[in-house]
Amino acid sequence: MLNVLKNRFEQGCKTSRYPKEKVQLLPRYRGRPEINPDAPSDVASACAAACPQNAIDPVAGTIDMGRCVFCGTCERISNGRFVTFTQDFAIAVAEKEHLFTKGDIPTLAEHSRQHFKKLFGRSLQLRQVSAAGCNACEADLNVLATPFFDLARFGINFVASPRHADGIVVTGPISRNMKTALLQTYEATPEPRVVIAVGSCTLTGGPFRGSPEITEGLDTLLPVDLFIPGCPPHPMTNLHALLNFFK
């Protein structure tokens, strides 16, 4: 018993005070991209050609955050002249068009569905469905339940049954073998229900784009309310998205 207490004191209190206090992520973290509209066109095209995800439109000067895996290749080869990544983790959006960014992302809270705020603002129960995710997106959702993020303090929980849920959170590129199970889970969730797509895979197929075994975008199957980009999205991105969309 003494041992247990000793340990308790050693560990201390680790829960973050977000959103009351700001959280600063480490320098190498790559969050919201910023694009220099005046970049020479050859630099922009070089970035577009090197991007493994073909996420860059050099003419429009935009990045499709749905495809982007935030690898930073474009920032590096343009030496920051075309793209720079900020430490801003608030990159979730409510409309698919908003994923194509020049650097500014519409404030999520203003684009969220107001009736959801009313319905789920105080209590939100979510069913997570992993549909061929690589377990990184899943893990960084799961981590929200650990003491640092402590999602439950906001009245948000992940539950075991879709029957008890207000919506589903989908990760992964939705493999052929998982599609039916996903759709059935969606059907089993009582209406009104929320659909949240997490990770580049779910948004566009991510790194697995082009494989006949997967689906390129959850929005081709279901109406998606909240898009959270990243590969995987940082837990803070997830947390920010949930709080701003529902609170």
Partner 1 sequence: MLEIVFLIPFLTGAGAFFLPNKIGRCLLVLTGAIHLILSVMIWAGRLTPIFPEYFAVTPEGLLSLLVISLLFFLISIYTIAYLKASDIHAENIFTGSMLLFLSTMTMVTLSDHIMVMWIAIEATTLASAPLIYTHRTAASLEATWKYVLICSVGIAMALLGSVLVTVAMDVGKVDAPISFTAMTDVAKKMDPMWLKAGFVFILVGYGTKMGLAPMHTWLPDAHSEAPSPASALLSGVLLNCAYLGIFKTNKIMHAAGLADFSGPILIVFGLISIMAAATFILKQTEYKRMLAYSSIENMGIIAFGTGIGGLGAYGAMICLIHHSLIKSSLFLTSGNILLGFGSRLIEHTGNLVNRMPKTFVAFFGGFAGISGFPPFGIFIGELLIIIGAFRTGNYVGAGFFILSLCVIFAGFANNVMKISFDTSDTTIRIKEEASLVWPQYALLLTSLVLCFWMPDTLHQTIIHAVNFDDFSTQAVEIVSRGGKVVQLFAFQANGTFRLMAVLRTDVLLVAACDAPETYPALTAKCEPFHMFEREIAEQYGIRPEGHPWLKMVRYHANCRSVDDVFGNDYTEDIPGRYDYYSVAGDEIHEVAVGPVHAGVIEPGHFRFNCIGERVLNLEIQLGYQHRGAEDLLLKADRKRIAFIAENIAGDTSVGHSLCHAQAMEALSGIQTDDGSKIIRTIGLELERIANHVGDLGALSGDVAFLPPANYCGRMRGDFLNMSLLMCGNRFGKGLVRPGGVRFPMNDDNRRDLTARIRELKPHVKHTIDLLFSTSSVRSRFEGCGTVSRSDAEKLGLVGPAGRACSIPYDVRRCFPTEHYGQLDIPENAEPTGDVWARAKVRADEVMQSIAFIESLLPDPVETEIIDMADMALAPDSFVVTLNEAWRGELSHCILTDGAGGILRYKVKDPSFHNWNGLSMSLRNTGISDFPLNNKSYNLSYCGFDL
Contact residues for partner 1, defined by CB under 8 A: 3-4, 6-8, 10-11, 14, 25-26, 28-30, 50-53, 69-73, 76-77, 127-143, 145-148, 158, 160-162, 172-173, 175-181, 185, 206-208, 210-214, 231-232, 234
Q: How many Å is the Cα radius of gyration of the chain?
A: 19
Contact string (CB under 6 A) for ligand SF4, positions 194-233, x = contact: -----xxx----xx-----------------------xx-
The one among 91, 92, 134, 195 contacting ligand SF4 by CB under 6 A? 134
Name the binder of 218 from partner 1, ligand SF4, none, CB < 5-8 A by kind.
Answer: none
Does the footprint of ligand SF4 cover residue 168 (CB under 6 A)? no
Residue 104 CB, nearest approach to partner 1 (Å): 22
Q: Which of ligand SF4, partner 1, none sits in contact with 74, Cβ below 5 to 8 A by type?
A: ligand SF4
Q: What is the DSSP string of the chain?
A: -HHHHHHHHHH------TTTS-----TT---SEEE-TTS-HHHHHHHHHH-TT--EETTTTEEETTT-----HHHHHTTTSSEEE-S-----BSSGGGGEESS----HHHHS-HHHHHHHSS-EEEEEEESS--SHHHHHHHGGGSTTT-GGGGTEEE-S-GGG-SEEEEES---HHHHHHHHHHHHHSPSS-EEEEESHHHHH-GGGTT-TTS-S-GGGTS--SEEE-SSSPPHHHHHHHHHHHH-
- Tell me if 235 contacts ligand SF4 by CB under 6 A: no
What is the Cα–Cα distance from 128 to 124, expressed in whole angstroms?
13
Stretch that binds ligand SF4, among 46-54, 104-112, 149-157, 183-191 (CB under 6 A): 46-54
73-132 binders of ligand SF4 (CB under 6 A): 73-74
When asked if residue 237 is in the footprint of ligand SF4 (CB under 6 A), the reply is no
- Choosing from 35, 43, 44, 68, the residue that interacts with ligand SF4 (CB under 6 A) is 68
Q: Given the complex with partner 1, which of 98 and 127 has the nearer CB atom?
A: 127
22: left (phi over 0), alpha (psi -120 to 50) or beta: beta
Q: List residues near ligand SF4 by CB under 6 A.
A: 51-53, 55-56, 63, 68-74, 133-134, 136-137, 171-172, 199-201, 206-207, 231-232
